[in-house]
Structure 1
Amino acid sequence: MGYENYRHQADVCHAYQILKAGGLEDENIIVFMYDDIANNTANPRPGVIINKPDGSDVYAGVPKDYTGENCTAENFYAVILANKTGLTGGSGKVLNTTPDDHIFIYYTDHGGPGIIAMPVGDLIYADDLIKVLTAKHAAGTYNRLVFYVEACESGSMFEGLLPKDINVYGLTASNATEPSWGYYCPDQGNTTSPPPEYDTCLGDLFSIAWMEDSDVRDATKETLQQQFKTVHRRTLNSSATGPDVEFSSHVTQYGGVNITTDFMNTYIGLNPLTVNRTSVDNGGYTPSYAVSQYDANLLHFMQKYKSATDSKVRTKTYQKLMGEVDSRNKVDNAMSFIGRELFGKEKGSHVLNTIRTPGRPLVDDWDCLRTFVKTYENYCGSLTSYGRIYMRAMANMCNAGIKADQMAIASAKACDVKS
């Protein structure tokens, strides 16, 4: 939520248009989005959302199933499990599917190690998501389920957790240890920058890659595996300056990879305009500038500050920019202090930044991680989208055997909270 997150809702709306063009009815499409972008006073084209610089409006006709305060983890779980009594607000639509149905879920928003965020309320922790998917399988209410995830460290939602025998295939924008990327970002001097009136990224790299492929490829002739290869290649090579691992991520597959022989039309339908068409596949697009999801807010405020002509707007934007910088410095310093307090000056940084071997989940005790996050927030304030980069650090504290009272004392000292 917030205009600086324009790209996420643009992605959601574009995905809806793909499904509609593929012949799906609204009754079979469920949309979650905060819906504060199209008519935001900062939007240079009121009532319109675009997902690429020369793109058409993707907002028109999008259902408002779960918007605003109804965009919660609890509603997300309830929709997947077809638990209408678990819903709070919204349209009431749920995945009331049968054993013969194929399900496609696409998520895009902020994340971090072991979590993805909803616009409102609690985070979605990886272990909870896996429990929901496992329960959906146990209910016998689908044939196969495909889950695309656009978020930083999105691989950590499935790494070491997603069973291979529940007919769920996960595709993530990044592996378990790297950020995902905003795309079509402003004022970078290349032909695929947004129109000059936009001061925010229009989309996300992984999302743009799979959706622009789906826009042009005959879905009856492209398998999930073929799309993976196309998207993986583009996501690694979409820097405006050419292939550059510094501005890329590794799209990663999880779970039932046997599903990848399925054709895309099984999940997204078939757009008649794409029949017998093939994708340009790696190289037929013009690279744009990508920015880490963790830094997209900074870019937005910097662009807004640079383009402001009114002195009051310029001053207010500068204050927001400095507030973002100060917030980052605060969490950086606090977590560094906590690491030193718990593990000593020499070992603190090493322990907090340790990355587990591939194939292992982020943390052994997920309840411990939840407790440490709440403890930190109790003393130091809510973790922002940037601050969630430290979820791995707190997971490592749990894995190292740190106790809740130790974490509380260290957090209180770090943020100078008097008892």
Structure 2
Amino acid sequence: MGYYCDNDMRLPCMGDQFSINWMEDSDVEQLNKESLQQQYEIVVQKTNLSHVMHYGDLSIAKEFVADFQGWEMEPQSRVSTLPEPPISAWPVRDIPLLMLDKQLRQEVDSRRRREIRKKIGKLQRKREYLDNFMIDLVEEIIHDPINQRRILNAHPPALTNLRCHDRVVKTFHRDCFHFGDNPYALKYAFVLANLCEERINVDIVIHKMLQHCYDIEVTVNIHKDTCLLIRDGCTSSKAPIFVMDNGYP
């Protein structure tokens, strides 16, 4: 989740759940009395959308946070009795779309509003394309409707078929949707894991995937409309590039 996204300073989100919890703890605690271990445990307790971990020489966990963040204390302002405004929290994958929607709400120029609407429409169409692509892929490999729904919606409790998972994910990344260029595709990483947990021959899964990926619709960054379909010969690269929301527009 991205936090403090809907701010009045025309800034993007100011952090994720972990970083916001860490900074807010540093603001309210007496750092010359709080140990690194205490801070870690507080942040772990408050962070439920990612896995907070600590590494390295854990013997320093007994040292004070002030040893690392500084000993000078800002004067404490009087605590307000007013309720704090709700923190705006946006799903990370939706931030590019929500930022565009925010720009649209704030923009008064009609030409700019048309441009923003065009960008929103493109991102929505590209996401819909990938959503349908994954449904079609699963239906091509799994024929039972009940299993299809489970694979598309339920996260696996554990990864037990690691060799299959490694090969399938790398093939998807290389020949279908490059995760670096298509962060929205990470939404479906668990679906690839589910396919492997079905214990289907990995060669069959990869063969079906490559067949399905052959006619992927290709587009480039929303600022550069240069090609539309891989079958039109607009790209010579082996792996198609389908950029859906690579960062903020």
Q: 3-state SS of the aligned residue for 2:87?
A: coil
Unmatched 5+ residue regions in structure 1? Answer: 1-180, 187-193, 236-248
Inter-CA distance 324–303: structure 2 relative to 1 (3 Å threshold): same
- Residue aligning to 2:245: none
Q: 3-state SS of the aligned residue for 1:213?
A: helix
Cα RMSD after superposing both structures? 3.6
Amino acid at match of 2:58: I
Whichever structure has more helix as a proportion of its residues is 2
Check the 8 A contact 1:206/1:231 in 2, yes or no: yes
Q: Does 1:405 align with 2:207?
A: yes
Q: Does 1:202 align with 2:11?
A: no
- Residue aligning to 2:100: 301
- Residue aligning to 1:373: 173
Unmatched 5+ residue regions in structure 2? Answer: 218-228, 233-249
- Residue aligning to 1:55: none
Q: Rg: which structure is higher?
A: 2
Cα shift at 1:335: 0.5
Inter-CA distance 308–368: structure 2 relative to 1 (3 Å threshold): same
- Map 1:173-188 → 2, pairs under 5 A: 181-186=1-6
Inter-CA distance 392–314: structure 2 relative to 1 (3 Å threshold): same
Check the 8 A contact 2:4/2:14 in 1, yes or no: yes
- Residue aligning to 1:246: none
Check the 8 A contact 1:363/1:398 in 2, yes or no: yes
Q: 3-state SS of the aligned residue for 2:2?
A: strand
Check the 8 A contact 2:177/2:185 in 1, yes or no: no
Check the 8 A contact 1:304/1:317 in 2, yes or no: yes
TM-score (normalizing by structure 1):
0.42
Sequence identity (%)? 24
Superposed CA deviations along residues 322-376 of structure 1, whole A, max 9, x for unmatched, are 111111101101001101111125022312434232xx45861224321222222
- Find 1:311's aligned residue among 81, 85, 110: 110
Distance 2:161 2:113 in 1: 44
Cα shift at 1:405: 1.5
Whichever structure has more strand as a proportion of its residues is 1
Cα shift at 1:209: 1.0
Inter-CA distance 270–301: structure 2 relative to 1 (3 Å threshold): closer
Inter-CA distance 267–222: structure 2 relative to 1 (3 Å threshold): closer
Superposed CA deviations along residues 227-265 of structure 1, whole A, max 9, x for unmatched, are 234324444xxxxxxxxxxxxx34535576993881465
- Residue aligning to 2:236: none
- Find 2:156's aligned residue among 351, 356, 363: 356
Distance 2:123 2:11 in 1: 16
- Find 1:320's aligned residue among 108, 119, 127: 119
Cα shift at 1:224: 4.0
- Map 1:239-250 → 2, pairs under 5 A: 249-250=48-49
Task: Count how many residue pairs are aligned between Structure 1 and Structure 2.
Answer: 208
Cα shift at 1:307: 1.3
- Find 1:223's aligned residue among 35, 60, 65: 35
Distance 1:295 1:363 in 2: 31
Cα shift at 1:200: 3.5
